[in-house]
Amino acid sequence: MDAAGFRPPRLGIGLVYFQELHPVYEQLDELINVVEVEPQTLWHRGPAGGPHCIDRAAYDRLAPLRQPKLLHGVGMPLVSPTPPDPRQIPAWQASIAELAPAWVSEHLAFMRARPLDPPDRRDATGRHLAPSPRDTHHAGFLLPPRQDAATARAAARQIRLLQDLSGVPVAFEIAPNYLRPQPGEMPDGLFYAEVAEQAGCGILVDLHNLWCNERNGRGRVEDVLAALPPEQVWELHVAGGQALGTYWLDAHMGGAPQEVLDIAARWIGRFPYLGAIVFEVMPTAWLTDQFDVARLHDQLTRLQTLWRRHAPPAWPRPSGPPVQRSSVRPSPEAAAPDTPSTWCDQLAALVNRRLPPAPDADRHLASDPGLDVYRRLIDSARGSVIASELTLSWRLMMLTLGPAATDALLQEFWLNVWPQPFALDEMSAFAAQVHRWQDEGRLPIPHLRSVLDYEMARARLQSPDSTDLTVIPVTFDTDPAVLLDALAQGRLPPSPLPPRHEGRHTLVLGRDKGTVTAAPGVTSAA
């Protein structure tokens, strides 16, 4: 698929899609011209490591929305040491077939890296084989690339490959970058322009990301925008954020800052083939009372006004003097020898608190204060999975050991196990670690193994990819009703339990028409 010469349709103002907010799209229908879908959030993990599959019910719910759809990937970023994960491709292509987007987009970032001691894989003739996705680790977060010529070439190859797999034009999103500019890197705008030129693709300019980058010490938004090829900017994103220490995060919480909207008003008329402006907000903004339907109505109304006043007319010819682009290039003396994959390996290791992979690891990178931002973001994401999905087990550990000791165990788990892309895999890895600690005698917490097995059984039965599971028995050394009810109320069960609750109890969990049920099994006396 060659995207050169593509002219996107003028779609207008859009909103990113989340299932939790589905009623909002119907309530604010007249203000939403396009719906942008993050397809990976509507997929299931494939059974036994096989291809991922779309959530049929979720796509059926999307279908009645009248607006055209765009696809915005969050799982196949375009700067990676390996090609796209083949397990994702069938679901990606099925999503495109279902939603018929005029174009698709993905982040100019990476999320996978090689281990510090990668396997030496060779073919029958002894030649080294390139790493496959199964040889790499999930880094836990979208991480920024090294901005040099080698990375631009590698990204262009990935973009062209994704275009071929997609059958529709591809745009890359300019992602947030919490690192300082590195020695030998291209300036931000020049790097993005280089990737776009080599790939012949579109650009999704996230204005809030650029504003974050400027606030956090990178290039000025105006300089970055001036360096971009204006005819290749197809889409803009705007969003809100929040502070983390001295940094400003692209957190998608609340409305877009006025400064971001002012930048949009100054620039959208200079992008002759701009097709859409999409507002991004997370469902958690509703949960934390930072946003509601009334405020979203106001935000979309302001964007509609901005679009009517400043958006270019359909299919114009660019007029006036050409936009001046930066001619600053890194000096040959400053050019770093790192390949894109070496950068990915080092950065992923650093943000996951692994030791640098070599004694001569990039000292500028290793001392960058932005590393701590990524660590805290990864910790928050991983910790929320354990606390929200293994709630009773986590509560039992907290009530028995106390917050400090429990947090120390979680930190140890993160050091031993890389992040997992799916919540069920993260939960399974944590459960396996807890079992090891118990086998070693480090976690003598009564009932913990049973409670953990119970919660993991429920999670596996609820997972759509576990179609081969019908029932799972879980054994308790006490009455499960008394134990689980106490933990649900935030307290430890009485100790010792009354005699009639002693002995071994089996709780049988099963799946019935998509609902997980539990029934008493065999009970024996102590």
* 355 pLDDT more than 90: no
Give Cα separations from 507 to 351, 496, 510 (angstroms).
41, 21, 10
Region 145-162 average pLDDT? 95
CA distance 153 to 194: 9
Give Cα separations from 416 to 254, 359, 373, 423, 429 (angstroms).
36, 21, 20, 17, 10
pLDDT tens sequence across 439-481: 999 999 999 999 999 999 999 988 876 665 678 899 998 889 8
What letter would DSSP give residue 256? Answer: P
CA distance 434 to 364: 37
Q: Residue 123: which pLDDT band, with cuts at 50, 70 and 90?
A: low
* Residue type at position 250: D
State how beta strands 110-113 and 137-143 pair.
antiparallel
Alpha-carbon dihedral sign for residues 435, 439, 440, 443: positive
Count how many residues are written for the chain.
Answer: 526
pLDDT at position 117 = 65
Q: Work out the angle at residue 307's Cα, subtended by the Cα atoms of residues 318 and 5, and round it to the nearest 5 degrees.
A: 35
368-397: b or e for each residue (b if 16 or more CB lie within 10 Å)?
bebbebbbebbbeebeebbeebbebbbbbb
State how beta strands 233-239 and 202-206 pair.
parallel
Region 176-200 average pLDDT? 96
pLDDT at position 161 = 94
Region 225-242 average pLDDT? 97
Distance from chain centroid for Cα 462? 22
Nearest to 109 by CA among 158, 69, 149: 158
- Residue 514 CB coordination number (10 Å): 9
pLDDT tens sequence across 356-402: 545 555 678 999 999 999 999 999 999 999 999 999 999 999 999 99
pLDDT tens sequence across 19-28: 999 999 999 9
Region 65-81 average pLDDT? 94
Q: Residue 333: which pLDDT band, with cuts at 50, 70 and 90?
A: very low
pLDDT tens sequence across 390-436: 999 999 999 999 999 999 999 999 999 999 988 999 999 999 999 99
CA distance 448 to 456: 12
Return the top range by mean pLDDT from 3-17, 22-36, 126-140.
22-36
CA distance 115 to 199: 29
Q: Residue 334: which pLDDT band, with cuts at 50, 70 and 90?
A: very low
CA distance 433 to 439: 10
CA distance 33 to 35: 7
